[in-house]
Structure 1
C-alpha cells in the first residue's frame, strides 16, 4: 500500500533531478571547451577586460569602478535577503505546532504523509540556505574587489595586480551563478509540495529556458567572423 502511494515520488522526482544535472554537466563542458559560445564565458572575458581598463586609467575611472561594483553588491544582497527570508518562513513553518500536512488533501498525487511532506519542506530549506551561503560569499569577494581595484599600480612588487583582482571578481560571479541556479532549483521543490508530476514538468520546462539564458547563438556570418577573431582572446581570459 505504501508503494502505491509513493511510487510517483520515487520515480518522477529522481528523474526530474537528472535533467538539470545532465544539462549543467554539459554546460560546464561547453564553457571549458567553447567559452565564446556561452554568455557565461563571454561575460567572464568582458569582466576581465573591464578590470584591466579600470585599473589602467584609474585616476579617471575610479568612481565609475566603485559605482559599478556597488550595483553588483546590491543585486547579490537583494537575492541573499530573499533567500534568508524564505528560509526563515520555512523554518517557522516546520518548527510550529501546526501540522505541515494540513494544507494538503488526498487529491494530491503521490505520497503525502507527514514525514514526506516534512521532507519536502526541509529539502526546500536546505536549497535556500545554500543559496544564501553562495550569495554571502559572493558579496564578500565583491567587497574585496571594491577596495582593491583602486590600489595604485606604480609599485612593481605590488601583489595586487589586475590578474589577482580579476580572479577575485570571477570567484564572486561564479558564486553568484551557483546561488542563482540553486534559487531556480527551489521552484520544482515548491511544486513538489503539490505532487511529483508538477516537479518533472517544471524541470523539463526549465532546461530550454536555461539553454536560452546560457548559450549565445550565432548572429549571421558577420557575427561568426567576429566570434572567430575573439575566440583566442575569450579563451585566454576564461
Structure 2
C-alpha cells in the first residue's frame, strides 16, 4: 500500500466529512438558540400552532388533520423505501464476485484497490441504512399523532403539547434521514475519486445554508427564505 496512491483520500475525504458535520452541528446550535432564524425552527413553531388549532376545533378539522398526516406518511414511506432499495442494491454489489473497479482503474485519482472500492460501497450502504431507520422511526411517531390528534383536548394526558412533541420528533427524524440521504451524494462521487467528494461537499454547504435560514429583507422588513 503506497502512500502516493492514498494521500488524496486520506486528506480530502476527512475534510469533506468535517465540512458536512460542522455545518449540521452549527445548524443544530442555531435551531436550539435562535429557532426563528431558521426554516426548521419557524416550521416547527407553525406546526405547534397547527396542532393546537386542530385539537381545539376537532369536529370541523379532523378530516384536514388526517389528510395532512397521511401525505406526510406517504413522503416518509417513499424515502424509506428508496433507502432500503438502494441498500439492497449496494449489498448485492458488495457481495458480488464481479470486479466493479476494473473500468475505473485508469481514469480516477486516489486509491482504487479492492479494499478501497469495498470501503466506498460499504460506506454508502451504512448511510442509506441509517437513513431508512430514521424514516421508519419518523413513520412510527407520525402514526401515533394520527390517532392522538383526534382526542379531546381536555384530556389530562393527551394534550396539544404532547401531540406537538410527538409530531416534532417525527419531523426531526425525517429531517435527519433526509440529511443522511443527501450526504450520500458526495460519498457516491467517491467512486470516481476524492476530489469530486470535496468539491461536492463544499458546494452543498452554501446551497443548504440558503435553504435552511431565513433572511431579512431590508426593504420591506419581511423574512425571506
TM-score (norm 1): 0.91
Q: CA deviation at 1:223?
A: 3.3
Structure of greater relative contact order (alpha carbons < 8 Å, 6+ residues apart)? 1
Inter-CA distance 221–36: structure 2 relative to 1 (3 Å threshold): farther
Tell me whether 1:70 sits opposite 2:70 in the alignment: yes
**Any gaps of 5 or more consecutive residues in structure 1?**
228-238
In structure 2, how many angstroms separate the alpha carbons of the residues matched to 1:48 and 1:188? 34
CA contact (8 A) 1:76 1:139 kept: yes
> Which residues of 2 match residues 119-158 of structure 1 at below 5 A?
119-155=119-155, 158=156
After superposition, give the CA deviation of every residue in 1:101-139 in whole Å (9 maximum; x if it has no partner).
Answer: 234222210000000000000000000000000000000
In structure 1, how many angstroms separate the alpha carbons of the residues matched to 2:189 and 2:179? 16
In structure 2, how many angstroms separate the alpha carbons of the residues matched to 1:149 and 1:221? 40
Number of matched pairs = 224
Aligned equivalent of 1:192: 190
Q: Paired residue for 2:157, among 147, 153, 159? A: 159
TM-score (norm 2): 0.96
**Any gaps of 5 or more consecutive residues in structure 2?**
none
> Which residues of 2 match residues 1-238 of structure 1 at below 5 A?
2-155=2-155, 158-220=156-218, 222-223=220-221
In structure 2, how many angstroms separate the alpha carbons of the residues matched to 1:137 and 1:17? 25
After superposition, give the CA deviation of every residue in 1:193-226 in whole Å (9 maximum; x if it has no partner).
Answer: 00000000000000001101100011236535x8
Aligned equivalent of 1:231: none
Query: 1:193 is paired with a residue of what secondary structure?
Result: helix
